[in-house]
């Protein structure tokens, strides 16, 4: 198989992540002004509730399939056999997920007001399974799914502006969201056959697959508890309005987090492959590149979002969502901890088959987060949910880092890596100064935001260059080569 460029993969997956973020970035400002805060709350509560059952249907199979499938990708017969068994397990889990969802809707009467919206979002359960995106991740092929995303996102945006015109159209908004997210997944399943022969089979090696899958699933379930519990507990203790306000800060936070994680996602199969082949030296080089690249991106992204929280909320959501500003400032800190925690878990612990440690760490964090939510929400409301998320992400980052200390020590404690993080921290001081000055000088919202972002980028880049940051010089040299070639 032709070796894919990590740079091109990062670009394509980054483009796909941008498209996934671009959709809510275009749609949410429109929708937040058409729908009421409470209807946004119903939409987000329903989406979150279905998320638990998507998790059950997924069963941690995608992570397991990427880790194990990367070892077989050079042999079509072996990978086809493996993929068919994994897909069959996925379908069984999907059926179980639907049975549990329908049972919960019958048993819990408090959910009756959400039934229509929940049923619309439940289409994601089946189509996520059919999407088999783990096949494309195994083969490090992001071209098809990137093109597909462009087509479906554009079509969905057109549908949104045509069909969502009044306050009662939140169900149509939910349907368009589902169509945008998983509408093309059946095409994914058909196209995946160009790589492998994937089909349903009863000849599945349950003993071999089920134990590691369940360990990964348990870890994912623990993650879901502290990701989804915020919205769920907030909705139960407070109301749909509080969920609507909090969901605004979370959506903005997830946009920034998702864009930064694009580089991380494309390196996971490569790292799994290198570790599985015992090519430790190459593994360390790739991991070092990931840490260095994200090191100079994560800190400024978080600091910039904290400094411009009010402006971002006004532009994306509007004045009626201003109560979410403080919540966004708090949760923005979680970007730093979540990205590095994710590196330690998905790029180190899982390829090294230490998912039992990921499970332990995540369960501890999930319990901590649930307890903090019940303590903080009654008197801090949506600000309390943001604070609990930050504390949880910090905890899991520390625990995951400690669990893989023997692997990451030669990489993370390198002089260049530590200098890179210090350079980034110093550069962030420049961002704070620029944002404060722009806030004092400019009164118009759009000018203040544009100049804050543009000048902050210039200031941050100049500081890194003055500090002789190797990553900054590498990017600068690439730009010079592109300009020279043109």
In a domain, 409, yes or no: yes
Locate 381 and state its tokens.
Answer: 């409301």
pLDDT for the residue 298: 86
Integer-rounded Cα Rg, in Å, for the chain is 22
Q: CA nearest 64: which of 142, 137, 144? A: 137
Q: How far apart (Å, rounded) are the C-alpha atoms in residues 431 and 298?
A: 13
CB 248 within 8 A of CB 321: yes
Enclosing domain of residue 486: 414-486
**3-state DSSP assignment of residue 392:** helix
Pick the last residue of a domain from 413, 431, 454: 413
- Quote the number of domains for the chain: 2
Residues 326 and 427 occupy one common structural domain: no
What pLDDT was estimated at residue 483?
62
Q: Is residue 1 part of a domain?
A: no
CA distance 195 to 76: 8
405 plus 274 within the same structural domain: yes
3-state secondary structure 53-96: HHHHHHCCHHHHHHHHHCCCCCCHHHHHHHHHHHHHHHHHHHHH
CA 98 – CA 265 distance, rounded (Å) = 28
Q: What pLDDT score does 339 carry?
A: 86
320 and 350 assigned to the same domain: yes
Q: What residue has token string 């997830």? A: 254
Whether residue 282 lies inside any domain: the answer is yes
pTM across the whole model? 0.70
Please indicate, yes or no, whether residues 142 and 118 belong to a single structural domain of this protein: yes
Q: Provide the pLDDT for residue 484.
A: 63
Q: Which of 398, 413, 428 is the last residue of a domain?
A: 413
The domain boundary, picked from 387, 413, 439, lies at 413
Q: State residue 63's pLDDT score.
A: 76
Q: Which positions of the chain have pLDDT values less than 50?
A: 1-3
Q: What are phi and psi of 264, to 5 degrees?
A: -65, -45
């Amino acid at each position: 198989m032709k070796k894919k460029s990590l740079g091109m993969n990062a670009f394509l997956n980054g483009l796909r992540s941008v498209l996934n973020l671009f959709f809510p970035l275009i749609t949410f400002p429109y929708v937040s002004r058409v729908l009421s805060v409470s209807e946004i709350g119903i939409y987000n509560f329903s989406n979150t509730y279905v998320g638990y059952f998507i998790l059950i249907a997924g069963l941690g199979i995608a992570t397991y399939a990427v880790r194990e499938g990367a070892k077989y990708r050079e042999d079509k017969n072996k990978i086809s056999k493996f993929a068919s068994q994994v897909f069959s397990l996925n379908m069984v889990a999907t059926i179980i997920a639907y049975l549990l969802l329908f049972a919960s809707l019958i048993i819990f009467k408090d959910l009756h007001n959400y039934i229509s919206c929940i049923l619309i979002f439940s289409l994601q359960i089946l189509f996520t399974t059919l999407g088999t995106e783990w096949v494309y991740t195994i083969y490090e092929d992001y071209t098809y799914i990137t093109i597909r995303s462009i087509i479906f996102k554009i079509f969905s945006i057109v549908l949104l502006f045509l069909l969502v015109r009044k306050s009662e159209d939140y169900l149509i908004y939910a349907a368009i969201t589902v169509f945008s997210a998983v509408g093309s997944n059946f095409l994914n399943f058909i196209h995946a056959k160009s790589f492998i022969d994937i089909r349903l089979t009863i000849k599945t090696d349950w003993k071999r697959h089920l134990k590691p899958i369940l360990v990964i699933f348990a870890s994912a379930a623990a993650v879901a508890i502290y990701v989804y519990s915020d919205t769920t507990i907030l909705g139960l203790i407070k109301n749909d309005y509080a969920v609507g306000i909090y969901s605004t800060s979370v959506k903005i936070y997830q946009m920034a987090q998702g864009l930064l994680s694009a580089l991380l996602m494309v390196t996971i199969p490569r790292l799994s492959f290198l570790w599985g082949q015992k090519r430790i030296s190459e593994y360390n080089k790739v991991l070092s590149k990931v840490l260095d690249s994200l090191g100079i991106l994560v800190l400024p992204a978080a600091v910039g979002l904290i400094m411009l929280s009010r402006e971002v909320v006004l532009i994306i959501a509007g004045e009626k969502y201003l109560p979410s500003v403080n919540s966004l400032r708090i949760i923005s800190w979680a970007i730093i901890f979540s990205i590095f925690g994710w590196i330690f878990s998905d790029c180190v612990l899982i390829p090294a088959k230490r998912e039992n440690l990921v499970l332990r760490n995540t369960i501890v964090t999930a319990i901590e987060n649930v307890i903090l939510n019940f303590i903080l929400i009654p008197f801090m409301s949506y600000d309390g949910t943001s604070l609990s998320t930050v504390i949880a992400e910090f905890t899991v980052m520390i625990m995951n880092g400690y669990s893989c200390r023997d692997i990451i020590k030669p990489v993370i404690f390198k002089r260049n890596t530590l200098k890179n993080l210090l350079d980034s921290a110093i550069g962030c001081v420049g961002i704070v100064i620029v944002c404060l000055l722009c806030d004092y000088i400019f009164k118009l919202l759009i000018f203040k935001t544009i100049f804050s972002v543009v000048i902050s980028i210039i200031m941050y880049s100049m500081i890194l260059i003055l500090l002789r940051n190797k990553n900054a010089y590498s990017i600068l040299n690439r730009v010079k080569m592109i300009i020279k070639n043109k």
